[in-house]
Amino acid sequence: MKPIPYGHQWIDNYDIRQVVKVLKSDRITQGPKIKEFEEAMCKYTGARYAVAVSSGTAALHIACLCAGIKTGDEVITSPITFVASANCVLYCGGKPVFADIQEDTVNIDPKKIEEYLRRQKVGGRREKVKAIIPVHFAGHPCDLEEIHRIAKKYSLSVIEDACHALGARYLSRTSPFPSSRGESRGGDERWVKIGSCIHSD
C-alpha cells in the first residue's frame, strides 16, 4: 500500500497564476480577490456569510472567542486531528478535553462525549464544559445530528472544525436548513453541506 503523505498539497498552474496576479496588483490584502473568495465559499458551502482569515487555526480561535470560551472552560474535541482543534481552546485560556473516536469513521464518538458529560454532572463539574469541537476528519462528516442533540441537551455550543471537509455532505433527517442550503432527498431527509453553518447569525 502506498502511503498518502499528510503534508503534501496539490498546486496547479491556475493556482500559481492567481497568486502572481494578486502579487502584481496594488492590493495584496483586503482586495477584490478576498471578496471573490468569500462569495465563492458561500456558494460552495451554502453558508449565508463567509469571512476569510489567515488559517483554519485563526478561524477556530475566532469561533471560540465568539462562543465565549474563557479561562477554566472545558471544550470537548477529538484526539485525532491537527493541533489547531485543541490550541484554539488553549488560546482562550480553556482546557481541551479529548473524547475517543469511532473505529469505523475515525471521527469523535458522540457516545464518548455524552459519557464524559454524565461523569462531569455526577461530579458537579458539568458547568465547566462549554462547547464541543467535532472534527470532520479526512473529509468524512461526523454524526452531527447526534452531536447537536447532545449539545442541546447540555446547553453547549458546537464549533465544527470543517477544515478537512468543506463541501462534504451528510444526510440529515432534522436539518433546519431551507431548500437553498440542502438538496431534498424526499420526505424529511436532506443532504447538508459541511461548512454551511446551521446558525450563521
Task: Determine the average pLDDT of the residues in 83-95.
Answer: 96
In this model, does residue 94 exceed pLDDT 80? yes
- DSSP string for 66-88: HTT--TT-EEEE-SSS-THHHHH
Bridge partners for 193 per DSSP: 169
DSSP-based three-state secondary structure for 97 = strand
DSSP category for residue 35: H
Q: For 40, how many CA atoms within 13 A lie in the half-sphere containing its CB?
A: 7
pLDDT band with cut points at 50, 70 and 90 for residue 122:
low
Q: Please state which of the ranges 21-35, 48-62, 69-83 shows the lowest mean pLDDT.
A: 21-35
- Nearest to 164, CA basis, from 196, 190, 135: 135
Bridge partners for 19 per DSSP: none
What pTM was estimated for this model as a whole?
0.82
Element (H, E) at 132: strand 129-133
pLDDT of res. 125: 63
Averaged pLDDT score across all residues of the chain: 85
pLDDT of res. 177: 44
Q: 132: which 3 cell numbers? A: 464541543
* Domain locations along the chain: 56-193
Task: Determine the average pLDDT of the residues in 5-10.
Answer: 75
pLDDT band with cut points at 50, 70 and 90 for residue 181:
very low
**Level-2 CATH architecture, domain 56-193:** 3-Layer(aba) Sandwich (3.40)
Bridge partners for 169 per DSSP: 193
Other Cβ atoms less than 10 A from the Cβ of 42: the count is 17
Q: Please state which of the ranges 33-42, 64-73, 124-133, 141-150 shows the lowest mean pLDDT.
A: 124-133
